[in-house]
């Protein structure tokens, strides 16, 4: 009788083991699709970098602004996905580069900075400017450049690369936008200067 009871218990245990549901498979989350590039005009990107530069040095002043053309950028709106700017601190006698990036991984986007370097107020190639002079944005500068030769280039090639740079011209004492049609200085087809304070056409540089 005991043997029969033992066999019955073992049979029930085996049956219970067979009826146990298998553990559900752990699903691996699908990789997150990269976000599309973000674009900004030069003045907006500069303001973001300027805020970071002020944390580095409360008296930080701009030296230059420049874009780096990325394929697909809406340059007709004066926008790019990569901007850089240099700032100087008169009290520290140092200068520091900053960048704003709108593409790549999430951790690579936004504002970042480089290493400090010596700066001298007597160096005319790194003359600082007050942010109050930057009243005209890159989109307006582009429109002005279009009316002075750029329209013919973009009509011929709608994907014509355009770069923007902005710096202080100590000779005329003006902050100047340079609208550059081309991927680099050696490939420049047209370069137009625009007053960054009034938006007025200055000249065709090339």
Tell me the pLDDT tens digit for each residue of 77-87: 999 999 999 99
- Residue 11 placed within a domain: no
- Residues 196 and 132: their CA atoms lie apart, in Å, by 10
- Residue 58 placed within a domain: yes
- Residues 73 and 75: their CA atoms lie apart, in Å, by 6
Give the per-residue pLDDT at 24.
59
Decide if pLDDT at 177 tops 50.
yes
Of 29-38, 94-103, 153-162, the poorest mean pLDDT is in 29-38
Give the per-residue pLDDT at 88.
98
- Residue 29 placed within a domain: no
Decide if pLDDT at 94 tops 80.
yes
pTM: 0.82
Decide if pLDDT at 34 tops 70.
yes
Instruction: Return the exposure string of 91-127: e unless at least 16 CB atoms fall within 10 Å of the residue's CB, then b.
Output: eeebbbbbbbbbbeeeeebebeeeeeeebeeeeeebb
Q: Which domain holds residue 189?
A: 40-204
- Residue 142 placed within a domain: yes
pLDDT band at residue 12 using 50, 70 and 90 as cut-offs = very low
- Residue 130 placed within a domain: yes
For the chain, what is the largest distance between any 2 Cα atoms, rounded to a whole number of angstroms? Answer: 114
- Residues 107 and 101: their CA atoms lie apart, in Å, by 10
Choice between 187 and 72, residue whose per-residue pLDDT is larger: 72
pLDDT band at residue 106 using 50, 70 and 90 as cut-offs = confident
- Residues 7 and 131: their CA atoms lie apart, in Å, by 91
Give the per-residue pLDDT at 183.
83
- Residue 10 placed within a domain: no
Decide if pLDDT at 204 tops 70.
yes
First to last CA, the chain: 109
Count of structural domains, the chain = 1
Give the per-residue pLDDT at 30.
64
- Residue 74 placed within a domain: yes
- Residue 51 placed within a domain: yes
Residue 189 tokens read as 């087809």
């Amino acid at each position: 009788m005991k043997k029969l009871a033992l066999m019955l218990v073992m049979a029930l245990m085996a049956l219970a083991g067979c009826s146990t549901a298998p553990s559900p498979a752990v699903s691996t989350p699908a990789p997150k699709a990269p976000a599309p590039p973000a674009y900004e005009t030069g003045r907006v990107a500069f303001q973001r970098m300027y805020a970071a530069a002020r944390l580095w040095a409360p008296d930080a002043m701009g030296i230059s602004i420049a874009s780096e053309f990325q394929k697909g950028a809406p340059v007709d709106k004066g926008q790019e996905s990569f901007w850089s700017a240099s700032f100087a601190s008169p009290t520290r006698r140092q200068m520091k580069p900053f960048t704003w990036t709108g593409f790549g991984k999430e951790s690579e986007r936004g504002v970042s900075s480089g290493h400090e370097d010596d700066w001298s107020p007597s160096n005319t190639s790194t003359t600082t400017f007050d942010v109050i002079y930057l009243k005209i944005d890159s989109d307006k500068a582009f429109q002005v450049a279009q009316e002075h030769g750029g329209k013919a280039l973009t009509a011929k090639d709608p994907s014509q690369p355009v770069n923007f740079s902005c710096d202080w011209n100590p000779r005329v004492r003006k902050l100047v936008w340079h609208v550059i049609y081309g991927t680099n200085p050696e490939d420049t087809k047209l370069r137009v200067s625009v007053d960054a304070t009034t938006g007025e056409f200055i000249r065709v540089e090339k």
